[in-house]
Amino acid sequence: MLQRTGQQRVGAASDVYTGSTIGATASTGAMIVYSGSCTNVGTCTATATTAGDANHALSSAVATAQITKADATVVVTPYVKEYDGQPHTATVTSISGVNGETVATVGAVTLSTTHTNVGTYSTDSWSFTGAANYNDIAATVITNTIKDITAPVFTSLSTNAPTLWPPNHKMVAVTVSALASDLVGVSSLKIINVTSSEPDNGLGDGDTAGDIVITGPLSVNLRAERAGKGNGRIYTITVEARDAAGNASTKTCTVFVPKSQGK
């Protein structure tokens, strides 16, 4: 019979690889001869032979054990990274087998997890090819993520009419020119707010209501007027730059209606 650390195998038997050597015992002091592998995956055969004596004829017995592949423990860690223009891939955290075996003696991992651009990659996978004593692990799906958390940066912001004159209470079409840069590209530029330093319909100099009308993403109609007793009117235009990930930044520009020409 073949045995492994307290377990017995009689005749044809099988066992999973543990890194330990299979041994055999026989009664009547028989001599044991091994053939095949008694540690690694494969077939181990032990033949016990007695020489015989005056009362016993020569005899032999054969016991065979089949050692099958073991399962490795493989840990692959996915990633969540901020976009930086560099490729990223998952990390093989550990490869371990039985009996303290690690890495090369156990097997190798193949990764399909490398990405550079922003996105959530939910169909990434890794697989494991076992060494001689270990089973393969089929493609295992993991999710990796590259995030864009950086807001666009304005590089320029201006209007086609920084000053409105004369203050004749007429609406003037003002166009904003805006440029911004972003790690993965700006998806929108638009006016989100316009304010005036004076009331919409204040006292004096024929003030008229409805001084601000946003007409498009980067266009607004502003009334050319200011309070006669004031120091001039300032319109403040707030523009937002937003990228595809939803990150946004704002910047302001102004349009001035002076109290008098040249001031």
User: pLDDT digit string (tens) for 63-85?
Assistant: 888 999 999 999 999 999 999 99
CATH number among 2.170.130, 1.10.287, 2.30.30, 2.60.40, domain 73-147: 2.60.40
Indicate the residue type of 246. Answer: G
CATH T-level topology, domain 153-257: Immunoglobulin-like (2.60.40)
Q: Give yes or no on whether 2-68 and 153-257 have one common fold.
A: yes
Query: What does CATH list as the number for 2-68?
Result: 2.60.40
Residues 49-79 as b/e (b if ≥16 CB within 10 A, e otherwise) read: ebeeeeeeeeeebebbbebebbebebebeeb
Partnered with residue 31 across adjacent β-strands are 49
Q: How confident is the model at residue 29 (pLDDT cuts 50, 70, 90)?
A: low
pLDDT of residue 203: 59
Domain extents in the chain? 2-68, 73-147, 153-257
Q: What is the mean pLDDT of the segment spanning 169-190?
A: 96
Cα dihedral 29, 30, 36, 41 in deg (nearest 10): -40
Average pLDDT across the chain, whole number: 89
Burial class of residue 154 (count of CB atoms within 10 Å of its CB; 0-12, 13-18, 19+): buried
In whole angstroms, give the CA distance from residue 168 to residue 208.
11
- At 103 the three-state DSSP class reads helix
Q: How confident is the model at residue 140 (pLDDT cuts 50, 70, 90)?
A: very high
Specify the pTM: 0.68
User: pLDDT digit string (tens) for 51-63?
Assistant: 767 676 777 888 8
Strands (E), 51-185: 59-68, 73-77, 80-82, 91-96, 107-112, 119-130, 137-147, 153-159, 171-181
pLDDT of residue 263: 57
User: pLDDT digit string (tens) for 98-137?
Assistant: 989 998 899 999 999 999 999 999 999 999 999 999 999 9
Say whether pLDDT at 255 is over 60. yes
